[in-house]
Amino acid sequence: MPHFRRTSTARLDPRGPLVFDTRNLPRRPGSARTETRTVPAPAGLRTGMAGVPEGSDLRLDVTLESVSDGVLVTAKAAAPVTGECARCLEPVTQTIEVSFRELFSYEQGAGDEDEDGYALDGDLLDLEPVLRDALVLALPLAPLCRQDCPGLCAECGALLAQVGPDHGHDRANDPRWAGLRQQMTQAGPDGSPAPETREESGRGRP
């Protein structure tokens, strides 16, 4: 999973929905606490034809555990996903669930912006970048309204799931064949279809 060490000098807002205060978690290996939250989804959780709507409810089950190097976060998240079916372009709504585990170190590497990992900001832990990585990687690139979605008619764009298996297109309906169709269906004097006419040759009638 792509991730990075937090290097911003801006202080976190302890009231942020995805910010966890670790002051009540003893810095003693083995100490742990679990918390459940429902938080609004941050913006920009989208890839391909699907995404998590900004502000929608995300359910989080988070366990914070003290280890020798920092705080180990084990979390599960459930998020609503909306998008368009990759075959028929109809709206798609589903729920994805992700699990992840990341270490937030007590010490932040000075001047090392390329070092992998996350760090605490004082006693505060920002879960948003980890959650964002996990959700975006789990989003379907080509969501389907159902696994056997037949898609759209390649000629008229009709939803094949609605028009049924008998839907088709007669070549005679092609406007390029209109002249021939008119000639074949033109009625004769007695009401019967007129016989096919043939061009006369220079040597007389065929």
The yes-or-no verdict on residue 67 having pLDDT over 70 is yes
Least confident of 66-80, 101-115, 173-187: 173-187
Which stretch of 5-9, 100-104, 105-109, 141-145 has the lowest confidence by average pLDDT?
5-9
Is the per-residue pLDDT at 53 higher than 90? yes
Q: Give DSSP secondary structure letters for 59-121.
A: EEEEEEEE-SSEEEEEEEEEEEEEEE-TTT--EEEEEEEEEEEEEEESSPPTT-TT--SEE-B
Domain locations along the chain: 19-138
The better pLDDT of the pair 118, 182 is held by: 118
pLDDT surpassing 60 at residue 123: yes
Q: What are the backbone dihedrals phi and psi of residue 47, each rounded to the nearest 5 degrees, phi first?
A: -155, 145
Distance CA 181, CA 122 (A): 81
Rounded to two decimals, what is the model's pTM? 0.69
Which of 86, 79, 32, 77 is CA-nearest to residue 53? 79
Which of 119-123, 157-161, 173-177, 195-199 bottoms out in mean pLDDT, i.e. has the lowest?
Answer: 195-199
Integer-rounded Cα Rg, in Å, for the chain is 32
Band the pLDDT of 158: cuts 50, 70, 90: confident
**Helix (H) and strand (E) counts for the chain?**
3, 9
For residue 88, pLDDT over 80 is answered with: yes
Q: In this prediction, what percent of the chain has a pLDDT beyond 90?
A: 54
pLDDT recorded at residue 56:
97
Q: What is the pLDDT of residues 138-156, one digit of tens each?
A: 999 999 998 988 888 887 8
